Structure 1
Amino acid sequence: MTHVVACLDGLDPEYLDAVETPGWDRIADRGNAGTCDGLVPSLTNVNNVGIVTASFPAENGVTGNTYYDPERDEQAYMNDPSLLRCRTELQRRADRGETVAALVAKDKLVGMVGQDCDLAASAEDPPDWLADAVGDPPGIYSGGASAWLMDAAVHVLDERDPDVLYVSTTDVIPHKHGPDEAAAEEWVRELDAGVAALAERSDALVATADHGMNYKSVCVDLEAALDREQLDAEVVRLITDEHTYHHQNLGGAAYVYLEDGSADALAPLADIDGVAEVLPAEEAAERFRLPTDAIGDALVLGTESSVFGPVEEGVRGSVELRSHGSHHERRVPYVASTGTTLDYNVEAFRGLE
């Protein structure tokens, strides 16, 4: 019996609504489809780990693309599998003797999601045998990277026949193009064809997304705002990773670690146009199921049109990009051949049964 879970990176429901998707619709007709909540922060690492562990960050420990280590007083990318606080569904299935495989677009996810897999590979750095079979990948920042990954997943199902396959694509297209642009429409069609091909080869499939996407026009410099309030603090912009071409490390969520004082001192941040909410750590942990020991003193969330990052002067500036990270990008689509209903994307593996 072959089970497939696919995470379609950045597939905001608006992109799906803008294009005819016959493959998605066929799966929905015999199963179910809808929208569900992803995790907040609405980021790649947080949601991919949430999906493969079937858990929230409070359990799995992954709280962003980047984290801050107070003991070492440094920020680092959250890619090391040792940071996971629980096992993945793929590991659990491997323990039961099932053959498991993970194919991801970005190499940064291989260690996190591919532990103990019989096959774990990325489109960014695929093994020679996979590139020989499917063709050389077009590059991680290419519009064709997700389509290549889908072709690779179909090849793995055909030739390796794993019991379980996890697939995670890339969101370069929705970062660069709105739902009504030709490049985005082609991207959705390719994803639709890929999902349909995977469904035809599997006994059960659940496809969902890690986060949505919104156009951003405002940038808020939280560091400058804290300096203005004479507060010593470490700001962790949670979207930060090595893939700056996608999002320029500008996203709508940040943790703030205060040198002294309580989160009450951060109240003035909420008055800035472009800051939606300033949540003390305990409130943020309860609302979004985050670990209180790994999110600093507060979670700051942007508005639907804002991101956090440096500006040339003052605390607010103008930007033009598409990005994510806040609660405004948490709604995602799903389709399940099994007929299951998802409330959260982290229920995808359970939805296979």
Structure 2
Amino acid sequence: MPQTTFSVNGRQYVHQGTPVVVICIDGSEPAYHELAIAAGRMPWLKEIIASKGMSWEAHCAIPTLTNPNNMSIATGRPPAIHGICGNYILDPATGEEVLMNDPKFLRVPTVFAAAAAAGLSVAVVTAKDKLRRLLATGITQSGLDPAGSGELVEPANKGICLSAEKADTATLEENGIEDVLELVGMELPGVYSAELSEFVLAAGVKLLQQQAPDLMYLTLTDYIQHKNAPGTEVANDFYAMIDNYASQLDALGAVVVITADHGMSPKHHEDGTPRVIYLEEEVNKVLGVSGETPDGGSRVILPITDPYTVHHGALGSFANVYLPQGADREAVLQALRGRDGISYADTSDNAAVLFEMPLDRMGDITVLSDKDTALGRYAAWHDLGNLEVPLRSHGGLGELAIPFFVNRVLGAPGDTASHGSNGEQAVLHNYDAYWVATSHVAANVGASV
């Protein structure tokens, strides 16, 4: 089969002529698949691991949130490079708090855009529409030039990019495809449902059968993981469904990578109430100001914030703190570092280097809570009435570990690990997915189980 080589964001990809499919399971800590396999619910994945050994515990990008990690997978690089550092930010250009789903925030082209420019066909199916506009850049809408000019260009080879959430309104002009419900053979799923993720996978199988795109990305929703712990019946049913569709993609001859955008942790007391540190209140106490939204106080930005409040009520494990001019930053840091439930508090200058994030979008102080605790702004800011079950959430170091599976025999994990900014070998990351699935399968095309 003919090879196609393309480069983007300082990394070279060698597509071997076999379709490549990356599945991103939203919110998938390793215990989910481990317990599902133990329960006999993921026979395909169990066989892949047993016969090929291509299973690693990898890391995601910080913050361990949906938008930053999906765009890390899409660009092959961490947020310091692509610029998407949350679902929600304080826009430094305007001073307004905004959702970070506008393509204007993306600072580099995607792997998909570069592949399309090299003549490969691309298809992206996301569960939620909030990700579609970012992922569509360079595929179905204009995006940064993959050649690195910094200019916006129209797609060189228009592909497909749609969301399951709005599959019923997909058009050729906007999404590169129409009549999606008829193609998939499913009704439009609800946004708060397991069926939203199943629709993504079913669409992937149909697209591979009928159009055989060279590169495909299927990214799910973490609705199930926010509501159900690993090993529960509902969680095992969900992972059995994933296993079924992954086996179909494998049977169709694709190189299949399964990874996740972040893990998930319980963040509640024994009585089921959320375990929360209201960070804005804590910081303002140190600053000597009072009230819920006092003049001269701090402003805390929670990057997990998005429109889907049933999931987490905007309570996550990562926060950016903006201090008023003249505030004693060191006093605030000392108070936070001694606070139970906080795992990390430092200047954003240091955090940007450590976590490979864009400093200009991070505020003055960066705070991460531990695996058992969530961060909020102040109590009245959060509408927790929609939380249907005890809080399970993400964003910090407690949700860093994720799975990484490939249905091909590759080199040892060290051979496929990415490298940190200091040049030393680092752990495998979810954003290595397309690099591993293309440049590391040359001798193994067609070697699926």
**1:33-44 counterparts in 2 under 5 A?**
33-44=55-66
1:203 CA drift (Å): 3.5
1:129 aligns with 2:129: no
State the alpha-carbon separation in 1 of the partners of residues 312 and 373 from structure 2. Answer: 13
The aligned residue for residue 214 of structure 2 is 163
- Report the CA distance shift for 1:220/1:204 in structure 2 as closer, same or farther (over 3 A): same
Q: Say if 2:282 is the partner of 1:225.
A: yes
Aligned to 2:331: 265
Deviations 1:162-221 (A, max 9, x none): 111011011000100111221111011111112222222243221100001110021010
Structure 2 length as normaliser, TM-score?
0.75
Distance in structure 2 (CA, Å) of the matches to 1:162 and 1:86:
23
Question: Residue 106 of structure 1 is aligned with which of 112, 121, 128?
Answer: 128
Give CA deviations for 1:235-261 in whole Å, capped at 9, x if unaligned.
Answer: 111100011111111100001111224
The residue that corresponds to 1:94 in the other structure is 116
Q: Which amino acid aligns with 2:196?
A: A
| Partner residue, 2:436 | 351
d(CA) in 1 for partners of 2:65 and 2:133?
A: 17
Q: How much has 1:6 moved relative to structure 2? A: 1.2
| SS, match of residue 179 in structure 2 | helix
Counterpart of 1:243 in structure 2 is 308
The residue identity in structure 2 corresponding to 1:45 is N
Q: 2:82, 2:255 → 1: CA distance? A: 25
Who is 1:49 aligned against? 71
Specify which structure has the bigger relative contact order, considering alpha-carbon pairs within 8 angstroms and separated by 6 or more residues.
1
User: Unpaired runs of 5+ in structure 2?
Assistant: 1-17, 140-158, 171-177, 269-274, 290-296, 381-388, 418-427, 439-449
2:393 equivalent in structure 1:
323
CA contact (8 A) 2:89 2:100 kept: yes
**Which of the residues 33, 36, 43 maps onto 1:19?**
36
Alpha-carbon distance change, 31 to 119 in structure 1, aligned in 2, over 3 angstroms: farther
Deviation at 1:312, TM superposition (A): 4.8
Query: Residue 239 of structure 1 aligns to a residue in which SS?
Result: coil
Provide the aligned length of Structure 1 versus Structure 2: 349
- Please give the secondary structure, in 2, of the residue aligned with 1:141: coil
Q: Name the amino acid aligned to 1:221.
A: Y
- Does residue 145 (structure 1) correspond to residue 215 (structure 2)? The answer is no
User: Which residue pairs with 1:214 in the alignment?
Assistant: 265
Aligned twin of 2:20:
3
Q: Which sits farther off after the overlay, 180-189 or 86-95?
A: 180-189
What is the identity, as a one-letter code, of the residue corresponding to 2:22? Answer: V
Q: Contact 2:27/2:222 (CA < 8 Å) preserved in 1? A: yes
Kept in 1: contact 2:92–2:361 (CA 8 A): no
* Counterpart residue number, 1:78: 100
Computing the radius of gyration over CA atoms, which structure comes out larger, 1 or 2? 2
Q: TM-score, normalised by structure 1?
A: 0.94
Q: Which residues of 2 match residues 256-295 of structure 1 at below 5 A?
A: 256-260=321-325, 261=327, 263-267=329-333, 268-295=335-362
Percentage identity across aligned positions?
A: 32
Deviations 1:297-344 (A, max 9, x none): 12100111111125659xxxxx93111010110100010123343511
- The secondary structure found in structure 2 opposite 1:255 is strand
| DSSP 3-state at the match of 2:353 | helix
SS in 2 for 1:11: coil
**Code of the aligned partner of 1:163:** D
Q: As a proportion of its length, which structure holds more strand?
A: 1
> Are 2:280 and 2:378, in contact at CA under 8 Å, matched by a contact in 1?
no
Native 8 Å contact 2:320 2:367 kept in 1: yes
Q: Which residue of 2 aligns with 1:316?
A: none
2:321·2:367 contact (CA, 8 Å) conserved in 1?
A: yes
Contact 2:110 2:138 in 1 (8 A): no
Distance 1:201 1:125, change over 3 A: same
Cα distance between partner residues in 2 of 1:310 and 1:259: 16
What SS does the corresponding residue of 1:178 show, helix, strand or coil?
A: coil
Taking structure 1 as reference, are residues 227 and 262 closer, same or farther at Cα in structure 2, changes over 3 Å only?
closer
- Unmatched runs of 5 consecutive residues or more in structure 1: 314-318
SS at match of 1:144: helix
- Does the aligned pair in 1 maintain the 2:127–2:221 contact within 8 Å? yes
CA contact (8 A) 2:35 2:231 kept: yes
Equivalent-residue separation in structure 2 for 1:306 and 1:193 (angstroms): 34
SS of residue in 2 equivalent to 1:158:
helix
CA drift of 1:71 comes to 4.3
- Give yes or no for the alignment of 1:60 onto 2:101: no
The answer to whether the 8 A contact 1:102-1:119 is kept is yes
How big is the shift at 1:136? 1.4
How many Å separate the matches in 1 of 2:136 and 2:409? Answer: 27
**Per-residue deviation at 1:283?**
1.6
The separation in 2 between residues aligned to 1:129 and 1:168, in whole angstroms, is: 20
Q: Distance in 2 between matches of 1:43 and 1:13?
A: 16
8 Å Cα contact 1:12-1:213 kept in structure 2: yes
**Structure 1 counterpart of 2:110, one-letter code:** T
